[in-house]
Structure 1
């Protein structure tokens, strides 16, 4: 059976080749020191290091890249370059390399972000201030309002996605993905997800007729942002691998679908939670920061529940077939059920 343990970063990054590449681009000289692996929301490899007194963060695909991993790295770097100078909080791109011959994969270097991820136990002063936590929730929404307001064509991203019929493709895309899980022996089946068929049908019947295309993050929630250490503002939006040109209101739906509601099935956990705004306040904040039409905001919330629930159910299906840890699969199955229950309540 193939091991699921990722190799240590030392075996995945040729430091000498990286240093030579940096030297060729005028990014310092001498050794790369203080190499420190950073935790990320994905299996992508993140390293912080210092050269000539300057700090860098290096990002490359996982040790065992997926078929599209290198193209994803190139897309991330392109997007970060395009966002330079905008009011969207993001890690600043220093340099990137799409040529896989250098390190065997595409990669890029970015400025370190002075901030923290809020998942788990909050640090001080945030942990001690409900008012600051309230403003953190509003700042989260400000991030996607700023992102969705960008003119993607003016930023050179007119070919970064396929916005034509973006909303019309969604249900069929995820319905097909769910049906595909039948290949995993032992999967409990789609019928274990409450009202999955009814939710999909409702989405098709109530789909907004039109939308204004823009940049969307694609996986926007509390686990994929960093906050300033001294206040409630965002320091950076991170993990851009699913970014595309589509309907930015789906990012708002994603925030709502992942927003904790006090139930064990919530997809993110932050302590302490009291003080964070209610979901309705998040919608009102977005409305005050965006010119987009929010009359169908429940549709985007339901679509996010539908899409995320099906994604999480994929791990459960693999776990049923022995291809993922059973405990993880069962936990994510519970979260998928919770998401469909949430969607079911919304369409009622």
Structure 2
């Protein structure tokens, strides 16, 4: 677990979400996102976006439709500078929601027409829900029309939305944690989230009703943290390219470059230490062959003549980029080093 640090008064003030937010457009290779509007809601019905909701989210279609309408209205209210209570669907905890409409210009059937022309190119929505300024936490969820599932759209949009969510203010939301909740039978979504670096943190037993099989099922909770998520590598994992104009991406590239430089210097220091150790071993072996034990010389070399060991003088620079924080008191490692496999975490292995 991360080391707990009490926030300063300035930090506490900064944890309040802004009264108004400008929801940025986000570009992808297959889709692009714009702020969702109330006028987009009927399009979701045309797309049959609530089809098989019980399998995807664990809710029935009617409940899913109602909650999506609530999310969009909360998002519009925040963009208009209205308080949570003024959205008509207020949240007693004053948490916020951001909703984007997902649009595509694709023509998969090569008939010369955009696939989603009938719905003004809208094929679904993506949300950051329960945006909690105090805990710096948000939940992500994707909703796609029935005919647009399984085509890789989620893999294109989700890393870019998460980059915005994690990016420090004002480039992004400055979240510390992004999480998801997925029914156990929705194995496709579970695979996508785990490929993005989400880690299973627990499950709510029998939390959902599986209407298809007339039985209860577990709700799986997964999350990823700011210092675990690499936006560039997550795009690479899905064969997507970096789009520098997207919110938070320039900051991510700059921080990653800084992290790489720090790691390179630390690697150079380790190589120098290894070379010095090899030289000392060779000299000691040579003395032993002639029956001499240069104990005093060894002590002097080991302490650099000043009582300070080589280990004490090793470069211990730190970085603002989380992947370079060797001093972090945590059991977590940045997932991109091995694409999320074999990570040390205080949770049950998947």
Please give the TM-score of this superposition, normalised by the length of structure 1: 0.26
More helix per residue:
1
Q: 1 or 2 for the larger relative contact order (CA 8 Å, sep ≥6)?
A: 1
More strand per residue:
2
Please give the TM-score of this superposition, normalised by the length of structure 2: 0.25
